[in-house]
Structure 1
Amino acid sequence: MGSHQMLYFDEVRRGNYTVFVNHVLEQIPVAYRVGAVDIEVLNKYRDDLLDIADELGEIYCTAMSTVNMDFFKGGACIEFIKQYWRDFITDIDRNEHWINMIIYMLKLFSVNVGVTALVTLPIQLSSLAVSIISRENKPVTQLVNALGKLSALTAAFYAEALVHLLTENVGVPLSAFMILAGGVVNELLKVYGSAIA
């Protein structure tokens, strides 16, 4: 089941999202998943993390308003990000959490927020949160680790959902898409490989 040769959206359409959740989790080593210790740390900082939602929304949306995406220029951005943040740090031990995060991604995608902004959203917010909490001189090493895992895993769900949505809509089997993408990657590595070696 860890193969890219299966599409899971038929099951998702039938209400069985756990097959997709499991597909993503199978690609993340246990050491990099959000575990019991991370949940304990996030719960320990829960009030601090919730208290910064307003500031986080303002800073993020102000910075993002400089990109060419209308969503970030309106007042709705701040409210959306505040709610996103509250849900991002809540109930992460439940499979429904990841579906909720994908729904946020779909909402942003539907208002023309680009893929890069979508995929980096949890990472940028986590980084901002650590900056805000750190300036209050609180020990944050465990929090940084927990938020790093949480944001990376959320980004993984976004990327996977986008690839599956693309292949479903175009009607190209995921395995063929991955082969085509692999061909392009190999071409780019031939051109740029020595630049990063």
Structure 2
Amino acid sequence: MIFTTTTLKDAFIVDVEKKPDHRGFFARSFCAHEFEAYGLKPIVAQCNLSFNYKQGTVRGMHYQISPATETKLVRCTKGAIYDVIIDMRPESPTFLSHFGVELTAENHRALYVPEMFAHGYQTLTDDAEVSYQVGQFYTPGYERGLRYDDPFFNIEWPLEVTDISEKDLSWPLLRMMTVGSEVR
């Protein structure tokens, strides 16, 4: 695997290292030893699959707080998505910064999402499918979220938003969540 740093501390793009032959190719998409070598948490508690009918659909921006913080390894297995993360760690030098990357079934790329990062994506194709390896069990009482269109972050989604859940529309704007420099 090829680990590439992003502009956000502790977040990585993970590309497969293809070993091609006449049949196609073979590649490792996860290895606990390689993740540990980069200081990443290699724990997988759940694997989730998300299917989206329409291009332009947005899911997110979600995260879980302590003691149920999650890491995620996100990969698009069908179609294409624009994947976005926001660093929600007050002690981080990249606190409240965001990063986006295109993940497609063709590029086989994944995004490693550290604990206390909000995560969301927009589908760039119809019938997009996304696979998540998650390092903690989903715990509803610890779930938090941010609005996908929060002017503070000014995320440039590639397409017009065609579909989003009522729950994702109801997350508060950051300015409504902040007290001093800490996010509640």
Larger of the two Rg values belongs to structure: 1
Tell whether the structures are fold-level matches, with TM greater than 0.5.
Answer: no
By percentage of residues, which structure has more strand?
Answer: 2
- TM-score, normalization by structure 2: 0.24
TM-score by length of 1: 0.23
